[in-house]
């Protein structure tokens, strides 16, 4: 029987705006044993912005946290992280 | 020290901006192969004693192209620290996630960095080291990197045999999977500054350093001032870029021997 499973997409964007360009991208697929992988060849970049992913049917389930104290000198992680989901049918094995 | 092998202003500026610099020393014929064969045959990892197990590695450290880069960036009295490590990425081993080494107690000034020596050619399917240029000033716990996979601007160190990659100690790095039938060898060395500069220790040309900002070339700039000002290796936001520029300038002044 086919059932709907949650696909996840982590996007690290340049700014907190959904229209912002993407610096990092990770798919988490609801497939047993699935592992995303850093690659030494040109990675596949299906989206240029967070908005591109929305157009493709992804939904934002978590916006970047902006409540942390602002520091105008220190640098920490790269980009602002959006977490998105798409519920799709995944064939049972 | 022969000036022939010292870095120039632009190379020093690019190291400060990107956090890495590649050197391809002309090593004696057969040296890389000899070292690779000995590493292939090692049954256990000797840890810091890798240079006793494979003494030919010292010839790499003594090559003038290597000592020239080290003197340029750490001063002529740099120290080769006793810690070194053989990283052998076995066939069929998976990728390694992004991380910074050590605790999150980062030094933004250029006081130490790594030298990664590769005795064989490294192809994309051999599990190359992958770095993210420009991330060396970030104080980011490795746990917080767990949701990152590929990052725009990441650079796989697919290099020629004999290459030494100097990488800032805090540069984000990981590896790809090794899907080849070959072991991918890398020997990591650690270098440290012992004395603060009172003057530049590279081939410095003051007139080439003080060029005005060129708003037309920006990232294509070839001179130190414009490299420090405009280069944005992974395209971070304006806020982060301003912070990076401030740290780069602080580093440049530190290397120029200017008092804070």
Tell which of A40, A62, A81 to mutate to test the B interface (max B CBs under 10 Å). Answer: A40
Does the residue B213 lie in any domain? no
B200 within some domain: no
Q: What is the mean pLDDT of residues B103-111?
A: 81
Residue range(s) defining the domain that contains residue B184: 3-192
Residue B78 Cα to chain centre, angstroms: 15
Closest CA to B196 of B109, B98, B132: B109
Q: Which among B39, B135, B2, B88 is positioned nearest to A76, based on CA atoms? A: B135
Estimate to the nearest angstrom the gap between the alpha carbon of B224 and the chain centroid: 18
Q: Which of A75, A77, A81 is the best mutation test for B, with the most CBs of B within 10 A?
A: A75
Residue B64: strand, helix, or coil: helix
Q: Residue B71 belongs to a domain with what CATH number?
A: 2.60.120.620
Higher pLDDT, B256 or B217: B256
Strands B164-168 and B112-117: antiparallel
Give the position of tokens 């991330």.
B135
Q: In B, which residues are within 8 Å of A42 by CB distance?
A: none
Q: Which of B61-75, B102-116, B169-183 is predicted with the least confidence, judged by mean pLDDT?
A: B102-116
pLDDT number for residue B259? 67
User: Which among B61, B53, B69, B75 is positioned nearest to B201, based on CA atoms?
Assistant: B75
Structural domain contains residue B251 = no
Alpha-carbon Rg for chain B in angstroms: 18
Q: Is the predicted ipTM greater than 0.85, yes or no?
A: yes
**Whole-number pLDDT of residue B260:** 59
**Using the 8-state DSSP alphabet, how is residue B48 labeled?**
G
- In this structure, is residue B205 part of a structural domain? no
pLDDT of residue A92: 55
pLDDT of B105 higher than 90: no
The list of chain A residues with pLDDT below 50 reads none
Please answer whether residues B231 and B18 qualify as being in contact, where contact means their C-beta atoms are separated by less than 8 angstroms: yes
User: Tokens 């810690």 label which residue?
Assistant: B83
Q: Is A26 close to B148, i.e. CB distance below 8 A?
A: yes
From the list A12, A23, A75, which residue is nearest B137 (CB)? A75
Residue at B65 is within a domain: yes
Q: Which residue of A has its CA nearest to B154?
A: A40
Residue B242 lies in a domain: no
pLDDT tens digit string along B22-46? 999 999 999 999 999 999 999 999 9
Please judge whether A38 and B244 are an interchain contact, meaning their C-beta atoms are less than 8 angstroms apart. Answer: no
Report phi then psi at B152, rounded to 5.
Answer: -60, 130
Predicted pLDDT at B248: 95
Helix, strand, or coil (residue B213): coil
Could you report the per-residue pLDDT of B199-255, keeping only the tens digit for each? 999 999 988 778 888 888 777 888 999 999 999 999 999 999 999 999 999 999 999
Q: Which of B121, B40, B130 is nearest to B86 (CA)?
A: B40
Q: Which of B54-58, B89-93, B141-145, B216-220 has the lowest mean pLDDT?
A: B216-220
Q: Which of B149, B158, B234, B247 to probe the A interface (max A CBs under 10 A)?
A: B149
Instruction: Look at residue B89 and tell me if it is in a domain.
Output: yes
Predicted confidence at residue B106, as pLDDT, reads 75
Q: Which residue of B has its CA nearest to A36?
A: B149
* Distance (Å, whole) CA B88 – CA B222: 37
Count of domains in chain B? 1
Q: Is residue B118, in this structure, part of any structural domain at all?
A: yes
* Residue in B with minimal Cα distance to A20: B237
What residues of B are in contact with residue A22 (Cβ under 8 Å)? 152
Element (H, E) at B73: helix B64-74
B151 and A23 within 8 Å at the Cβ level: the answer is yes
């Amino acid at each position: 029987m086919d059932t709907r499973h949650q696909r996840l997409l982590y996007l690290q964007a340049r700014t907190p705006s959904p229209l912002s360009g993407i610096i990092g991208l990770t798919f988490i697929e609801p497939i047993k044993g699935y592992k995303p992988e850093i690659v030494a060849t040109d990675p596949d970049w299906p989206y240029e912005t967070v908005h591109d992913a929305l157009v493709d049917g992804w939904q934002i389930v978590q916006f970047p946290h902006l409540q942390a104290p602002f520091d105008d000198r220190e640098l920490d992680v790269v980009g602002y992280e959006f977490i998105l989901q798409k519920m799709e049918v995944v064939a049972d094995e | 020290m022969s000036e022939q092998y010292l870095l120039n202003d632009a190379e020093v500026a690019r190291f400060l901006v990107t956090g890495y610099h590649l050197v391809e020393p002309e090593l004696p014929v057969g040296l890389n192969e000899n070292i690779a064969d000995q590493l292939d045959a090692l049954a256990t990892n000797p840890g810091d004693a890798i240079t006793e197990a494979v003494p030919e590695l010292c010839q790499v450290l003594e090559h003038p192209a290597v000592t020239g880069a080290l003197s340029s960036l750490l001063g002529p009295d740099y120290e080769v620290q006793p810690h070194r490590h053989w990283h052998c990425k076995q066939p069929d081993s998976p990728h390694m996630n992004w991380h910074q080494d050590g605790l999150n107690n980062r030094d933004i000034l250029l006081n130490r960095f790594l030298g990664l020596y590769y005795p064989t050619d490294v192809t994309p399917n051999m599990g190359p080291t992958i770095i993210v240029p420009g991330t060396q000033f970030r104080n980011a716990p490795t746990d917080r990197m767990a949701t990152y996979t590929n990052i725009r601007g990441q650079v796989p160190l697919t290099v020629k045999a004999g290459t030494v990659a100097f990488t800032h100690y805090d540069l984000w790095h990981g590896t790809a999977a090794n899907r080849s039938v070959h072991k991918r060898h890398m020997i990591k060395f650690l270098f440290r500054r012992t004395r603060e500069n009172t003057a530049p220790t590279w081939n410095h040309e003051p007139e080439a350093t003080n060029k005005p900002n060129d708003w037309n070339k920006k990232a294509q700039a070839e001179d130190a001032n414009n490299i420090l000002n405009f280069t944005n290796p992974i395209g971070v936001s304006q806020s982060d870029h301003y912070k990076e520029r401030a740290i780069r300038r602080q580093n440049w002044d530190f290397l120029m021997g200017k008092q804070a």
